[in-house]
Amino acid sequence: MTQQQQQRRTFLQQSAGLAAATGMFSFWPKASAQAPEASGKAMGMSSIAELSRRLAAGSVSSSQLVEEALAAIQNPAGEGARAFIRVHADSARAAAGRLDADRKAGRPAASQISGIPISLKDLFDEAGITTLGGSTVLAGQPPAARDAIVVERLRRAGAIIIGRSNTVEFAYTGLGINPHYGTPKNVFDRATGRIPGGSTSGGAISVADGMAAGAIGTDTGGSLRIPSALNGLVGFKPTQRRIPLDGVLPLSTSFDSAGPIAWTVEDCALLDAVMAGELPRPIRVPPLRGLRFAVPKTFFQDDLSPAVASAFAAALSKLSAAGATVTELPMAEFAKAPTINPRGMITAAEAFTWHREFIKTGAAKYDPRVLARIKTGETITAPDYLQLQALRRQFIRSINTAAASYDAMLMPTTPDTAPPIAEVLKDDDTYYRINGRMLRNPSVVNLFDGCALSVPCHEAGSAPIGLMVAGIGNTDHRLLAVGWAVEAAVTPRRVLSS
């Protein structure tokens, strides 16, 4: 056993003892003396934590999980062809075989995500592969020389990268539409064909449809939380500086962050710890009684659809009934949000800086709607850009002060449920209007450099709706613990596949 493995084992033993003494939840699964019998499919709606316990107990193998994921991707009646740009079938099978052999030999797993299929948004570099960004513009560019730091960490932790998931071209809208590789349909109302949300569209559908147990994506203005909210999943946007973005194709260096999508807050915490390069750590999930939540009345609740307004009110009532203090406040500081990044000026300026050489030679290859948004950055002057950055710094300070005495802020993740794809594509005005509404609420968290979860809060069987649980910057661990408690009160029960 290496020194690193010994340190990890010692840490886990200490954590297990601490968890037993304090009631904290440990990230490490206990191997059961009475392992459940494997029956039917293990993937489907099973969480990473659930799958990890089964792997530790020996009732399922990594190879079985990989084969189930690949079968779901290859199902001609499913969304795999639109959810993935590239599938790593051979390398995933090889990795699963090695990890299964290690388990049989008694070698300790590297982490709780070891042996579990994970999808990777097509923005993260993998050695030997050209990162396309959901576009055809970069086809023919040299392959990446090395994995992105996040990918290196996932591999060291034993995650199996099942493939590269589809995204809005260069991650530049919140709808999930991609004219190059197709648009995967939302998990709800497949007959109608609703938007998946974006930009991490393929990642969300990969989890919702059992093609992966978790998804790694990015979030510049809601790109993890929007598709999570619209598909009944949990998405976590960390504080930007928490996760290194080395080897990740940029959209906006001011707002880009990397994070996970999964079935549960626990799973997001597991993936977040690996992405952040942390050792597993117990999370103390606080009782809701005694928690203090601020509900901003300014901005976030404007013009909500009836379904979202009803679900949001019901979620607040459930939290209050559980003993939490839920206080609606003006929080007028948020009224300034539209002036910090008006018409996406900061985002567009930074995006255009990266894209301008590609636009010179390959503008015709871009999605015209994405290209139009990027090109708005061409006319933004340096004084305008610097002034907006100064306003943003003031905004961050004001929100940090306003929210400091609360455990979290609560707001609807999006003001609407997922509209039909056909409606979004009706014309440019409709496309940009719906895109603006989807991005409206979650993008504010990127503006104040905070962290946020989207957890499902809809009634079972109805269109998915997300509750955003947001905190100020660098409070990620606390927010995940609080979000775990919120999830237990407001999220509809999952019916696991057998």
- Residues with a catalytic annotation lie at 121, 199, 223
Residue 44 CA to residue 72 CA, distance in Å, equals 9
With CA atoms as reference, report the closest residue to 340 among 390, 375, 397: 390
Helix axes 476-490, 265-275, angle to 10 degrees: 160
Radius of gyration of the chain (CA): 22
What is the rounded CA–CA span in Å between residue 124 and residue 131? 7
Cis link prior to 26 (omega < 30° from 0)? no
**β-bridge partners, 466:** 456
Long-range pairs for 13-21 at CB < 8 Å and ≥24 separation?
15/280, 15/281, 15/282, 18/282, 19/282
CA–CA dist 241, 324 (Å, integer): 30
* Residue 171 exposure: Cα atoms within 13 Å on the Cβ side: 33
Q: Are 264 and 236 in contact (CB under 8 A)?
A: no
Q: Which of 200, 203, 132, 169 is nearest to 373 (CA)?
A: 169
